[in-house]
Structures are given as structure tokens and as C-alpha cells.
Amino acid sequence: MAGLYFNRPMPHGGKLVERVITDRTIAKKYLAACTKYCAFYDIKPTLHYKRGVPVRNVYREIMSVCYGFFSPVEGSMTSAELESVLSKRRLLSGWVFPYPILFDISREDYKKLGVSEGDRLILRLKGKPFAMLDIEEIYEIDPEELANRTFGSPETNPEVVREKFDDKHPGWVIYRSHQPIILAGKYTIINEPIFKPPFDRFWLPPRKCREVMEKRGWRTAIAHQTRNVPHVGHEHLMKNAAYTGDVEPCHGILVNAIIGVKRRGDYPDEAILEAHEAVNKYGYIKPERHMVTFTLWDMRYGNPLESLLHGIIRQNMGCTHHMFGRDHAAVGEYYDSYATQILWLKGIPSYGFDKPVNEVEGGLLIRPQNMREFWYCPVCKEMAYSENCNHTKEKEKLSGSLIRGLVAEGVQPPVVIMRPEVFKVVVKWWKKFNYPFVNERYVQRKEEELEVDLPDLD
Amino acid sequence: MEYTVEVFLDDYRLEKIKGSAVESKIETAFGGELKLLKVKVGEEVKNDLLKAFETARIDSRACITDTPVAFKRALFEEIAKQKSLGEEVVKAVLARIDEIKELAAKESDFLPAPEIETE
């Protein structure tokens, strides 16, 4: 019988990365030593290479690296590591990793800093010391080439890429907007940021998350990726995908929202978190079985590549399974709708996976639960799974644009589409921001205020 | 080919068309939970709408979606005024296109939240 049970998987790479100095006395000593010998750099948001609006803030990547969400990545990648990730989607250690993680600065800032390899750089956030970067290598990139190679093209990745990536794709824009000078090296947080409400309630880094799972008795847990407020279709996806497990359904559902700069028309991060919380708070899924958390990351919308990062994050958090639906972390028509499922079921050789991600050397241990679609069936009179329900003519799909249309007009969506408590959360934040969705003003404000404040360390 | 513009109905809107000929044309979706009116338009009006609003698109049901809220509000007002679901209600709204576009431009910065209790 014991052989039938699944164990919590080890972190990706074998060990959780934790690069946070929590002892403030030690942190102060580091800072005092650095004040004499190190250069200081104020972290700036990455601005759209054409429009000048914020598209990313590297502080989110530093947080996700140092708290272990991206284990085994420990910092900004060297040129050899970058090449390895772009050509094979593997770190130099051989562990699978999909995206370049880079600390980029402009040529002007590089000149001003006057740093060289072997130096330590103190990174300030909101004017206060935040982290150290121990510079191993300094090199230059061509941002356009970086963006193109990160995502591929219909020619180089014909299995799943349908359209050439361009400046309508937010992830491509993020890499295209990188500054040309890369400072590579390990990050260490020396001043732990304090999350502002409501983010503070949902911050659960991997080690803590694993402890909570243990305490709750979750032998198995399935991850739900989200960048949206949940409609009833999402709720059914969670409930039904969680029927997988080992000898019984998964003990827990871990909702992990991606928090960072998003597309216009997405919902504000605050609403996403509290709306998912409403699902358990009002009993649609028992709170003992459903937990809402987040990861800081400016989404790259890379569908199969993003699913790899999601798998890594949630394996590091302790999940045994990950649900993947249609158009996972996708935008537009760049990818095949089921590109993520192709990656996890067959592999995508052109991205470096001639077998499913779980079967390759250095691959993931988290198990995929690939789901098709849920729709409302007026004949079955229920939210139905597309592979069960044969009333394909009568089906009524819950499209994002339908729900956005209702919300924008202030029409309360019917309970079969969106729970009233979820809609109330949307309206609560709508009143706060004067707008129900992400718009330019929200992005500007978010990048000025960020999700965190920093305590004094001096 | 015929295209559809859907207008969703909540209690306020239902009250505005109560007793009119339009009330009998209310359709439902999602098990009767969502009430809506469907305005049918031809090729020419469809093209006018797509030209007027760059966000507008045709979905797989031949439905014209993603039009500005200002347009949908004006369209409902026109339906309630004319008590009709004919193409003429869309034409009447398109006749005020400058005013609608002005309101639509403001929409990207501000949309009034519904007055519901949220705490």
C-alpha cells in the first residue's frame, strides 16, 4: 500500500535556495562594511522600450530567487548560463529552467557605478538597502535577440509556436526592454521587505509553504495557477482536477497567483487574491482544503515555457500535482492552445524536450493534471466537463470577454458564472481604483508603491 | 450575413423595459440566470461598428463583442426609448458617435462602480 502513496517532491535542484539574511545585526554589519567599499544602485522599473510605461521590476525576481521560488537559481545568470537556458532550457547544472533571469542596467548607469567583476553591489529599493549582488561577470546583450531567442518562432519551434512574437506580446516586450549591460551573480536579501495588505496575508515562501502543508496533513496538493479572479469555471477546474491524487483525491488545492505587472484588462492583483480567498471563505471549497498564495513575477505569458516555471515554483512550494488547462498562461494566438499539455505529455524537442518534462534528465517531479474545458450546459443544468458533456450545440462557454463585458457594465454576473462574494471583491477594489481592471494608472501607481515597504536598516 | 449585439439586463434595465414590446423578446442564457436582448445587424452596420471601435471584434457566434461600455449603455437607452431591437437603434447610437467616442476614451481611466455593499 505504501508504494501507492505519493511523497512531497524534493525542491527542484534538490535543495531550496534561501538567500535572505534574517538576523538584522548581521545584515547591519554587512551594510556597514559595504558602505565603505561597495557601490549602491537604486532599482528602477523596466520601462517599455517604445512607450516608456513600466513592464517589469527586477525586485520581484530578486525576491523569488532569494526566497527559493525559483530554486535552484541563485541570482542573475552568467553569459554561459544564459546561453544554456536559451539553447537547451537547462541551467549549467543540468536542471531544467525556462527563462533568462538577469540583472540589467543601462550603459550610463554602468559607467556611473564603476563596478567590475568581483565587486559587491548594494541594491536599494524605495531608497533603502534591500539586497546585495556579488558580481561574477559583466557582459552585454542584444535585447531584441534575447527576446526572440527566449520565446522562439514558428520556424524554430514549429510544434507549438503559431505566430512570430512581437511588441503585442507582453513577455517578449519585457525581454526586448531589458537594458544591455548584465551584472551576473548571486543575490542576497539583507533587508526583508514587509508586505502591505492584502499581500501580507498571502505571502508564503516555499519553506513556510511546505511547513504549512505538513501541519495541515496535506500529503498531496495540486497547484492552481492564476492571474485572474475566479469564475465558476475556474472553481470547477480546481475541484475536478483535485480528484486526482494517489489513493484518494488531493488533500489540498494550492492557489498560487502571479503578482506583478499585467496586461491592460486583467484584474488588479489585490482583487485576484481576495477573490480566490472568497472561494474558501464562503465555503465553495473548504478552507481546510484550499489555500491562496502568490509568487512575485512579471508574467512572460510564455504558455509552455511559463508552465515550466509554474511547475518549478509549485514543486518548490511542495505540490505533488499541477493542473494545466487550455491556453495556459497565454495571450493572443502565438501558441497552440494546448502547447503546455503537449510539453507535459509528449515534450517539445525544439525547446530541448524530446520527452515529457518529468522524464528528461534534470526534469520536474511535480505531476501534470492536464484538463480540457468546462462550460455551462443548459441540458445537464450544470457546469460540465467538455470530455463528458455531449451537448456541444447547447453548451454555453464562460469566456473572459463575456465576463469582463458584464463587469464593465456593472451588471452582476449570474451565480452560475461568478459567485456573488467574488463579484463583491471585484467591486471593492473597483471602488478603490475607480476601475475594475488593470489600466495605465493602476500600473503606474503599482510600480511607484510596489507590494512592499522596506524597514530602516541604517 | 447577420450579426448580433448582446445587451445584458440587470434589475434596473429590466424595469426600464417592463411592459414594452421589447420585454417579450428577452432571451436567457446560463440556465435562465442571465437575461439579455439581442440586436441583429447587417454587414454594413457591422462594418460601421468595427470601424468606430478598434477594440470591437466578432466572436465565433457572429456576435460583436468588446465594444465600449459607453456604446452598450447608449444602445440600451436607445432600445428603451424606441422600444425596438431593430438595426435602427444601432444606427441611432452611431449617429452620436463623437459623443460616444469621447465617453469611451474616458473609460480607460474611470468606470463608475455599481452601488453594491462590499464589506
Domain count, chain B: 1
Residue B66's pLDDT is: 85
ipTM above 0.85, yes or no: no
Residue B55 and residue B48 in contact, taking contact as beta carbons nearer than 8 Å: no
Residue B76 covered by a domain: yes
Closest chain B residue to A398 measured between Cα atoms? B30
pLDDT of B55 over the 90 cut: no
Choice between A332 and B72, residue whose per-residue pLDDT is larger: B72
Burial of B52 (0-12, 13-18, 19+ CB in 10 A): middle
- Helices (H), ranges, A318-419: 339-345, 400-408
pLDDT in tens, A137-166: 999 999 999 999 999 999 999 999 999 999
Count the Cβ atoms, other than its own, within 10 Å of residue A226: 20
Residue A2's pLDDT is: 66
Residue A276's pLDDT is: 98
Residue A102 and residue A170 in contact, taking contact as beta carbons nearer than 8 Å: no
A396 contacts on B by Cβ (under 8 Å)? 29-30
**What are the extents of the domains in chain A?**
24-193, 206-299+372-448
Residue A236's pLDDT is: 95
Q: Do A24-193 and A206-299+372-448 share a fold? A: no
Give contacts of B 41-80 with A, CB under 8 A. Answer: 59, 65-66, 69, 72-73
Residue A242's pLDDT is: 97
- Fold of the A206-299+372-448 domain: Rossmann fold (3.40.50)
Residues in chain A predicted with pLDDT less than 70, given as ranges, are: 1-2
A154 contact B CB<8A: no
Closest chain B residue to A404 measured between Cα atoms? B66
Query: 3-state DSSP call for residue A453?
Result: strand
Residue B118 covered by a domain: no
Residue B54's pLDDT is: 82
DSSP string covering A247-291 = SSB-SEEEEEEEES---TTSPPHHHHHHHHHHHHHTTSS-GGGEE
| Chain A interface disruption, residue of B13, B61, B111, most A CBs within 10 A | B111
Instruction: Using pLDDT thresholds of 50, 70 and 90, give the confidence band for residue B112.
Output: confident
Residue A183's pLDDT is: 98
User: Which of A277, A268, A200 has its CA nearest to residue A235?
Assistant: A277
Return d(Cα A135, Cα A90) in angstroms, integer. Answer: 22
C-beta atoms of A412 and B10 within 8 A: yes
A80 contact B CB<8A: no
* CATH number for the domain running over A24-193: 3.10.400.10
B29 contacts on A by Cβ (under 8 Å)? 396
Residue B12 covered by a domain: yes
Residue A124 and residue A130 in contact, taking contact as beta carbons nearer than 8 Å: yes
Residue A405's pLDDT is: 86
| Vertex B23: Cα angle to B22 and B27 (nearest 5) | 95
pTM given for the model: 0.93
A396 contact B CB<8A: yes
A427 contacts on B by Cβ (under 8 Å)? 113-114, 116, 118
A155 contact B CB<8A: no
Residue A115's pLDDT is: 97
pLDDT in tens, A45-87: 999 999 999 999 999 999 999 999 999 999 999 999 999 999 9
Structural domain that includes position B94: 3-110
Return d(Cα A445, Cα A338) in angstroms, integer. Answer: 35
To which residue does cell 488588479 refer? A268
Q: SS3 letters for A55-123? A: EEEHHHHHHHHHCCCCCCCCEECCHHHHHHHHHHCECCCCCECCCCCCCEECHHHHHHHCCCCCCEEEE
Residue A1's pLDDT is: 61
Please write down the long-range contacts of B93-101, taking CB distance under 8 Å and 24 or more positions apart. B94/B45, B94/B48, B94/B49, B94/B52, B97/B52, B100/B52, B100/B68, B100/B70, B100/B71, B100/B74, B101/B52
Residue A204's pLDDT is: 98
Looking at residues B54-58, what average pLDDT do you find? 84
